[in-house]
């Protein structure tokens, strides 16, 4: 069967969607996992965008927004997901295995793209939990390093084990033949809120106290040099947006690039 040929499923594949095959699944904790699927030959997206994902397990499948965690040049598509016990989609999605079918709507979209930011010296990526997914795409894209001299990926989770996906990703990236040399300009700043860890606390508190800048040895955020991207929970989006505005940054969009952008697609 070719990669673009529709697999046989219990329910018919809806019109206007890709039906793709799961190629790998990795569980990190009892709450987090990643999976990879085949990429349709006609599918194009910009690193940082998201798509609507579903399963062929009903006449009218449930679709949810998922950032593509792989970069735009990858031959497969990677996704990073939370497990929700009674979630309409994740209850079933967390049980997928290699060879299973995943549905994907054909149109990618999103605000966390390089085009939505004005040129700058330093790019800050602020993430909590699975909000690291769009940045997993962007830090593997050469364009990100061509546009910014330094990239700082912050990732805040409740527990230390939830940092593992990002840690593995950055470690592999530094040794990657395509972007490894560029990625030497990437800093990965992890913090934890509910367990002991060398770096603790919410990123907004660490910005307010100045500790994050001290830890990284970089100046306080300034609209002249710094750009920001935010992806996480509703509370985190609101607080981080307020913090960046306090530093003088302005929110942008695809049609009006500015100094920071926010992804709101994943907030219930």
**Strand order from edge to edge, sheet including 17-27:** 64-67, 50-54, 101-105, 17-27, 32-38, 76-82
Task: Tell me the fold of 17-105.
Answer: Elongation Factor Tu (Ef-tu); domain 3 (2.40.30)
Q: How does pLDDT run across 38-72, given as a tens digit for each residue?
A: 999 999 999 999 999 999 998 899 999 999 999 99
The DSSP element (H or E) to which 212 belongs, if any, is helix 211-216
| Burial of 28: CB neighbours in 10 Å, binned 0-12, 13-18, 19+ | middle
Q: How does pLDDT run across 170-216, given as a tens digit for each residue?
A: 999 999 998 999 999 999 999 999 999 999 999 999 999 999 999 99
Q: How does pLDDT run across 115-140, given as a tens digit for each residue?
A: 999 999 999 999 999 999 999 999 99
The domain locations on the chain are 17-105, 114-264
Question: Token pair of 98, please?
Answer: 């290699």
Question: Token pair of 3, please?
Answer: 């990669």
Cβ–Cβ contacts within 10 Å for residue 185, how many? 15
Using DSSP, state whether 167 is helix, strand or coil: helix
Q: How far apart are CA 95 and CA 201, in angstroms?
A: 32
User: Which residues, 6 or more positions from 198, have their beta carbon under 8 angstroms from its beta carbon?
Assistant: none
Task: Tell me the fold of 114-264.
Answer: Rossmann fold (3.40.50)
């Amino acid at each position: 069967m070719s990669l673009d040929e529709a697999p046989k499923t219990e329910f018919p594949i809806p019109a206007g969607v890709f039906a793709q095959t799961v190629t790998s699944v990795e569980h990190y904790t009892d709450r987090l996992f990643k999976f990879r699927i085949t990429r349709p030959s006609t599918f194009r997206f910009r690193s940082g965008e998201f798509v609507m994902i579903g399963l062929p397990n009903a006449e009218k499948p449930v679709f949810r927004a998922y950032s593509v965690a792989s970069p735009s040049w990858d031959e497969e598509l990677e996704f990073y997901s939370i497990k929700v016990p009674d979630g309409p989609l994740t209850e079933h999605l967390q049980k997928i295995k290699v060879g299973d079918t995943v549905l994907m709507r054909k149109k990618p979209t999103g605000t966390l793209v390089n085009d939505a930011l004005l040129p700058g010296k330093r790019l800050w990526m602020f993430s909590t939990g699975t909000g690291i997914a769009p940045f997993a795409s962007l830090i593997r894209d050469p364009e990100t390093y061509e546009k910014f001299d330094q990239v700082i990926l912050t990732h805040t989770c409740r527990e230390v084990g939830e940092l593992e996906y990002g840690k593995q990703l950055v470690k592999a990236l530094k040794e990657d033949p395509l972007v490894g040399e560029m990625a030497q300009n990437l800093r990965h700043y992890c913090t934890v809120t509910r367990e002991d860890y060398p770096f603790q606390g919410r990123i907004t508190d660490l910005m307010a106290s100045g500790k994050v800048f001290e830890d990284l040895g970089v100046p306080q955020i300034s609209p002249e040099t710094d750009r920001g991207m935010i992806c996480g929970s509703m509370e985190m989006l609101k607080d981080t947006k307020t913090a960046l505005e306090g530093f003088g940054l302005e929110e942008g969009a695809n049609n009006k690039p500015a100094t920071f952008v926010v992804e709101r697609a994943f907030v219930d």
